[in-house]
Each structure stands twice: as structure tokens, then as C-alpha cells.
Structure 1
């Protein structure tokens, strides 16, 4: 079995979005042989190069071949590099019903460095963000924080009034509890809108 065939056999057993890098394939051949095989598999479109030395396996669907879902690739990147990653504020605002605008770009915040990954025709951007913007990663309170930052200071009040009606009570409490970690304007808006009675 050639090195390329062996790499492909391993790739076929991986879940969608799993990262493939030469470092993890050195049991199949020398670094040079593995690099050459990965390059060949990329040219023959059996693997997709998404960044320096990183590959993913395209997904075969009944509609043909597509790139793996961005959120799956981003989740694997976060796991591999021990980063915290969260969807951008525009996506969070859309999901929480604060805007009907659908983001045209796929952007994620990360605790790691800025970088772009290419998934077929789509470019996924990872932007470094301060820790408070990544807390808590995937919960709705965290989404609310990122959505409010994207909406901005002047419209945060009305967005919070809406969130007070749509979030669960436990999520509102969680958002209130995050105030200490947030910038002054945001912390103040949350106090004013969410802690008033009635």
C-alpha cells in the first residue's frame, strides 16, 4: 500500500471536519514521503488543504462533494490547539433574534491567533478576541454578550429589553453574573435593563 493510500484509508475513518496533518501520520512513512503524499492527495482533490500543513477530507454527499461544515472544522481546531472558539457577534445576534441580517462572512472569535482557513470556495476567519468575549463559550448568555458587542453601545439597551423577554430566567441570571468580567458600558447596560423589577 502506498503512503497516499494509507493516509486516505486513515482519513476515511475520521469524523467530518477532523484535521489531518503530517505530524500525526509519521507512522506511515518518512516526513518527506508523508508531505509528498498529502500534496498529491490535495492535487487529486481527495483531501483539501485548509492552511499550512493542515488538511481535511471532503464530504461525499448525494449532491456531490462538499467541504466539511465550518463549525465542525473550527471545533476540531479549537480542540487541537486548546483554544476557546465562539461564533461572531453578528451570527449570535441573528440566532438570538436581535437581527434578521444573515452574516455573509463566516467569522469566529478565538483565544488563539488571527488566521483564515479555506474550505473550498468559503473562507472562514478566526479573529483573536479578549477572554471576556469568549465567556462562556457556547451558552446563550455568552452569545448574548457577543451579540451586544456587535450591536454596540447605542442599541444595547433595546437589545437587552428584547433578550429579557426571550432568554430563560436562568440565562438572564447567568448574563447578570458575567457583568464583572465585561467592559463598563456593557456591564452598566445589563444592570440597568436586566436588574430592574417589572
Structure 2
């Protein structure tokens, strides 16, 4: 039976694209958790998979020049959330970096989540999932929620014209209704920024429509 499970796991992995993250939970339907873990460990030893962290594996993709291509810590965080069917929002430096408001590559990534709190070390990076209230995760827009967290990290006094221009640029990709709704969940000074940008985008849309 164990041999059969191993064979099924290998077949499924081969069907996936290289560079894909693999979790033991991907094989829950096979019904034998210990056999799955044993099989994945065997595939690491055989060189088919690479273990990135406890319970997180990579079906590696190789480049002739760069060698093994690894997913970013952010990609790993979102894949974990997808696996756990949990919502996450990047906070602090992670939000700033994702919105390109900072060139600093964060070694410590912190995400608010409605899933299980945990800390995962992946290479030099530490990914922390912090439990939070439903209200803090109630934002509808993926981009506007990140903007709120980024502004909270910056603070009101650090919001320059350059920051506002970048936020305006990224919010062009967000549903304006979501911006308006999410502004209700933000502190007053952030809500004011979001609504001001939303009005500017709506005005630009009207002008574009006339032209």
C-alpha cells in the first residue's frame, strides 16, 4: 500500500509544473498521512523535491545560469494561506515592499490572518502569521487593504507627494467601490487619503469618458 501511495504521489508531482510548492495536505485524499510524509522525505533524499521548511517542499525549476529558481517568501506565504483557506494581509515593511513604496527586501514578513497563528523560517526569511479580529480583515480590496497597512507603517508625517503618487497609481487597479468601503475601516487620516484619491480617479474617468 505504501508503495502504491508513493507511486501516486510521484505521478501527481510530475504532472505539476516545476517551481510549484508541494504540501503534505495536497495528498490528503490518499488517506495515510504518515505514508505521505515518508514518501515526501524519500523524494527529498532522491533529489526530486527540496524541503524549504517543515511541511513545505519545492518541485524545483532550474535555470542554466541562475541554478534553482526559488519562490519568494511572499509567494510562499500566499500559498500557505491558500492551502489553509485563510485570509492574509501583509503588514509593515512587507506591505510597503509589495506596493513598491520601499526597496528594502524584508527578512521578516508579518501577515494578519484569520487562520492559525504561526512562525515559519524559510531560508533567511521568517514568515509570521498573526491572528487578528474579523474587522481588520474585513477590507474587500486586495490593494486597498495593503495600502491601509502600508500607511499605518509609514505614519501620517511620512506621507510625501511621492508616496501619494505611488498609492494613486496602484489604486487605479482597485475597484472604486471597494476603496470607498475600505476607507470606513481605516483611521480617519488614512480614510481621508483614500477618499481623496478615489475622487481624483473618478474625475479622471469622467474626463476620459468625455474625451
Deviations 1:43-87 (A, max 9, x none): 444323345444332333333334334344333322221111233
- Cα–Cα, structure 1 residues 32 and 85, in superposed 2: closer, same or farther, change >3 Å? closer
Instruction: Give the structure with the higher percent helix.
Output: 2
Matched residue, 1:104: 106
Instruction: Structure 1 unaligned segments of length 5 or more: list them.
Output: none
Would you say 1:138 and 2:142 are equivalent positions? yes
Cα 1:133–1:95 change in 2 (3 A) is: same
| TM-score, normalising length: structure 1 | 0.68
Match for residue 90 of structure 1? 93
Question: Does the Cα contact within 8 Å between 2:77 and 2:127 map onto a contact in 1?
Answer: no
Q: Give, in whole Å, the separation in 1 of the partners of 2:63 and 2:7.
A: 21
* Deviation of the 1:21 alpha carbon: 0.5
Distance 2:101 2:35 in 1: 51
Residues 4 and 34 in structure 1, CA contact (< 8 A), matched pair in contact too: yes
Q: TM-score, normalised by structure 2?
A: 0.65
Mapping 1:48-127, distance limit 5 Å: 48-62=50-64, 63-96=66-99, 98-99=101-102, 101-105=103-107, 107-111=109-113, 112-119=115-122, 121-127=123-129
Aligned mates of 1:60, 1:52 — CA distance in 2:
22
RMSD of aligned residue pairs (Cα, Å): 3.9
2: CA distance between counterparts of 1:188 and 1:107? 27
Q: How many equivalent pairs are there?
A: 193
